[in-house]
Amino acid sequence: MTLYLVRHPQPDVAPGLCYGASDVPITEAELARVQSGLALPRDLPVYSSPLRRCALLAERLAPGRVTLDARLAEMDFGAWELRPWPDIPRADVDAWTADLLHHRPGGAENVLDVARRVQAFVADLRAPSALIVCHAGTIRLLAALHGGVPLEQAALNAAQTPHRIGYGQLVVLGV
């Protein structure tokens, strides 16, 4: 299976804002910039997170052929959503980093919850190749799951992987 994973365009939000599951806007200029920079195979099935920063790009790439799937959404940070990272108490962030798999930042999802839903998406995927427009966290999980390690280890690997996936970046798995 070959997966073409594209991270969404940069959202139109203040720098340093926690916006995991929040449906934040993107500008037309940023959408056009990312779209013009992608060279992708044609006629692949296309799946997208339902969050508009992904869904708008997916629809531009494959008009009328996009399947939205909530299992591809970014992690929900609960009470942390739409707060500047520096405003989140250091003790709360430290509690999360001390237990990446099970701690629920902001009282919402934990990394293991997200890994379970991403794994369920992969298990349902029947196409030999697909284009997926989603989020950096989801891409890291897809990459970790692609390695064939047990779910908890894949989730921990993804959570510990430094975030280096740029806005609009293409990551190909399985070539």
CA distance 83 to 70: 23
Strand pairing of 2-7 and 170-173? antiparallel
pLDDT bucket at 162, cuts 50 / 70 / 90: confident
Which phi and psi angles does 127 have, rounded to 5°?
Answer: -75, 145
Q: What is the pLDDT of residues 28-66, one digit of tens each?
A: 999 999 999 999 998 999 999 999 999 999 999 999 999
pLDDT averaged over the chain?
95
Q: What is the pLDDT of residues 72-127, one digit of tens each?
A: 999 999 999 999 999 999 999 999 999 999 999 999 999 999 999 999 999 999 98
- 84, 137, 126, 61 alpha-carbon torsion, rounded to 10°: 60
Q: Is the pLDDT of residue 175 over 70?
A: no
- In this predicted structure, what is the pLDDT of residue 106? 97
Specify the amino acid at residue 142: L
CA distance 52 to 58: 9
CB within 8 Å of 7: residues ≥ 6 apart: 134, 135, 136, 139, 165, 166, 167, 168, 169, 171
- In this predicted structure, what is the pLDDT of residue 147? 83
Q: What is the pLDDT of residues 3-28, one digit of tens each?
A: 999 999 999 999 999 999 999 999 99
